[in-house]
């Protein structure tokens, strides 16, 4: 039977961030609500397009004499996660350009802060990514156990639009053999069943 409560429109958790990143090897959450390891960094505001998870299976169809399809085999499987960071903080810049390419001098009393970003041709290091979302009482998490930023979209500097970092994260299968991506959901508890009151018929008078 169809149930509209199973239809999800994902949004950002109230008073919280949506996308977190941490060094490879950081302990991953095991459900949709356990606290994240302290190593995870909040990546701040994400563009209104949210997060896009793309899976791509390239297959080959094999035919028998006469033209019937008798088997389909998998040639390649790829998976990516895409989102655009809106903040130009040290954390987001390190995500987009790499830890070693961002130098930060925090602001101090009477001294302005400074951030320097190098645009390098080198591939970025792999890391883990957690994406959190809610819909009413439903909460969810998408886990990328081994991800690598492989693409960054055009950065436009203009007074009529937002400077953003549109990132594509390739998802790799970890060495432990587990799946590259897992999604956890926590659904609302069902209401308690009402306890029926059993009325006994009055005892017959002697």
pLDDT in tens, the chain (206 residues): 888 888 899 998 876 679 999 999 999 999 998 999 999 999 999 999 999 999 999 999 999 999 999 999 999 999 999 999 999 999 999 999 999 999 999 888 988 889 999 999 999 999 999 999 999 888 999 999 999 999 999 999 999 999 999 999 999 999 888 899 999 999 888 777 655 555 665 655 54
Distance CA 83, CA 90 (A): 17
28 vs 30: CA distance, rounded Å: 6
Surface-to-core class of residue 86, CB atoms within 10 Å of its CB (0-12 exposed, 13-18 middle, 19+ buried): middle
- Alpha carbon separation from 115 to 82, 88, 149, 167 (Å, rounded): 25, 10, 21, 20
- Please give the Cα distance from 45 to 38 (Å, whole number): 19
Which pLDDT does position 106 carry in this prediction? 86
* pLDDT value of position 110: 87
For residue 66, give the DSSP letter: T
pLDDT computed for residue 137 by the predictor: 87
How many angstroms separate the CA atoms of 3 and 24, rounded?
Answer: 39
The two three-digit tokens of residue 154, written as one number? 């055009």
Q: What is the Cα–Cα distance from 145 to 126, expressed in whole angstroms? A: 10
**CA-to-CA distance for 91 and 118, rounded, in angstroms?**
14
Give the pTM.
0.85
CA distance 169 to 83: 9
């Amino acid at each position: 039977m169809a149930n509209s409560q199973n239809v999800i429109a994902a949004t950002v958790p109230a008073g919280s961030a949506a996308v977190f990143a941490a060094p490879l090897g950081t302990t991953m959450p095991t459900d949709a609500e356990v606290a994240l390891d302290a190593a995870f960094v909040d990546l701040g505001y994400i563009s209104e397009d949210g997060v896009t998870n793309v899976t791509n299976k390239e297959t080959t169809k094999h035919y028998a004499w006469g033209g019937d399809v008798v088997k389909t085999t998998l040639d390649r499987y790829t998976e990516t996660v895409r989102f655009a960071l809106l903040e130009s903080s040290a954390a987001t810049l390190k995500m987009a350009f790499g830890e070693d390419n961002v130098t930060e001098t925090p602001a101090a009393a009477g001294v302005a802060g400074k951030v320097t970003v190098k645009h390098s041709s080198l591939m970025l290091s792999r890391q883990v990514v957690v994406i959190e979302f809610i819909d009413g009482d439903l909460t969810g998490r998408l886990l990328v156990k081994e991800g690598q930023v492989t693409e960054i979209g055009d950065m436009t500097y203009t007074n009529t639009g937002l400077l953003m970092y549109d990132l594509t994260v390739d998802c790799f299968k970890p060495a432990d053999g587990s799946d590259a991506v897992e999604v956890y959901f926590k659904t609302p508890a069902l209401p308690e069943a009402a306890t029926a009151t059993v009325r006994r018929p009055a005892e017959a008078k002697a």
